[in-house]
A and B are shown apart, each in its own frame.
Chain A
Amino acid sequence: MLKLFEREQLNLAKLPAEQTAIEVRDLNLWFGDKHVLHNITMRIPRHRITALIGQSGCGKSTLISCFNRMNDLIDNSLTEGEIIIDGRNINHKKENLSTLRSNVGMVFQRPNPFPMSIYDNVCYGLRLQGIKQRRLLDDAVEQALIKAVLWDEVKDRLFETATTLSGGQQQRLVIARALALKPSILLLDEPTSALDPLTTLTIEELMADLKKHCTIVIVTHNMQQAARVSDYTAFLHQGELVEYSDSDTLFTLPHKKQTEDYITGRYG
């Protein structure tokens, strides 16, 4: 029978390794006595946008922070289980965190440009890696700003201080700063909650473009945003992964009642 609309529905439980960007196996995390993540097991597909949704305190930001070991910075945190990226368990004690965080970039809720020029912001990570040749830096800055759809707006004022940019531009600059390191995974923790609705749509459109270059995992309180931007969505509740499927299914026909209650605003 004729198919009018094409849909991709990967089998997330049996995702082959070459299509998996992040594989989480039996992940548990404690902050002191508090058990925050409970036996999370999931495979995040490569070159797709995966959204993590759930109530405040459900563990979605904690989970995304596990993917580049940002939780290591929190005292009394204890992680068990494996997170496989590029065939390596990043929870291994010998993992090089600097390399990991170059490969797995992260952008936070509030744009946090450094108090320096736009140019210096974008090549900050590259300079930390020891790259000094001007030509290489110029190219990297241009490419990163083009990918972040900011180049046309700032190409004539690259050496002005980044704090003069608008909120939406600052957030795209921060994304460009992460992209300059050519990450294979980009983690976005509430990237648009401090932005107005139209700027939010611009950033969302940017995400759709960026997935050609990298895998994106986004945490959002905004269910509508998760529905709009993501290919796959995971719903977490009190540290447990309740449902994880393609977003079309999750937002039209969720399998679990708990998910249905949450996305329809019946959450008790």
Chain B
Amino acid sequence: MRQLALNTHISGRFNIELENLRNSVMAMGGEVEQQLVDTLKAIATNHPGLAEKVILNDLKVNSMESQIDEECLRIIAKRHPTASDLRLIMIISKAITDIERMGDEIERIAKLVTKQKLPADVAIKASMLSIGQQAAAMMRGTFDAFARLDEDAALEVYDQDNSIDSEYKRLLNYTAGEMAHSGEPMEDWLEILWALRSLERIGDRCKNICEYIVSITRGRDVRHMPLENLQQKLDDLSDS
């Protein structure tokens, strides 16, 4: 794997700009990660105040996305980056869209608490929290891998989504069964299903960012490839 040295340009200001850009993505990621942690806590303790804070804080995440996007545009216009620098900036521009969407998914989950629509079924709530913890761990791993542009770590995190997906499917079947003989309004169940779906989508967004990390380090677009092929392809590249 080729190491990306961001701070070796002749232009010291370009070094600083790239470093600031990367740090700002980390700051945005940290913000969204905290949003998910707070949301899970709000679900566990049935704390509408904390969930409300998460919903309001999403505006901050949105603003961060706009600012980082604008900075990417500014750097492209002023610095004319090439090769790995250009890939990094383009990928950051894509990654922040995924991070912002994660923020939106979290906001939707938090609304379950503010609307007092948390599942009454203890098993569903426990599984929801379990998926949430896995998504939070995956998010943490993704941002760590991004901070170091660590391809191996990215591949490891990528794999964790399988566990979230299977847990989600199991929970979906269970919830569908409960819905069938529950007297609660259908719209309440739909809210729960949407929240579960949102948790599952966070895992998918993390996967996207892991693919971006590999795109930066390898200079190859590895999206739309199953994990087995991805690993195999990377192994081939390493051998050659």
Contact = CB atoms under 8 A, between A and B. Distances in A.
Interface in B72-89: 73-74, 77-80
Interface string A1-37: 1111100000000000000000000000000000000
Contacts of B80: 224, 227-228
Interface string A83-121: 000000000000000000000000000000000000000
Interface of A: 1-5, 198, 201-202, 204-205, 208, 224, 227-228, 247-248, 251-252
Nearest to A223: B80
Contacts of A205: 10-13
Nearest to A209: B12
Contacts, number: 49
Interface string B124-148: 0000000000000000000000000
Interface of B: 9-13, 20, 24, 27, 59-60, 63-64, 67-68, 71, 73-74, 77-80
A185 to B, nearest CB: 21
Given A198-B10, A251-B78, 10 more contacts: A1-B59, A1-B60, A2-B63, A4-B71, A5-B24, A5-B67, A227-B79, A228-B80, A252-B73, A252-B78
Contacts of A202: 10
Contacts of B59: 1
Majority secondary structure, A binding face:
helix
Question: Which of A4, A198, A252: most chain B Cβ within 10 A?
Answer: A4
A173 to B, nearest CB: 19
B93 to A, nearest CB: 14
A4 B24 contact: yes
Contact of A228 (B60, B63, B68, B79): B79
13 contacts: A1-B59, A1-B60, A1-B63, A2-B63, A4-B68, A5-B67, A201-B10, A224-B80, A227-B78, A227-B80, A228-B80, A248-B74, A252-B73
A5 B20 contact: yes
A5 B69 CA distance: 11
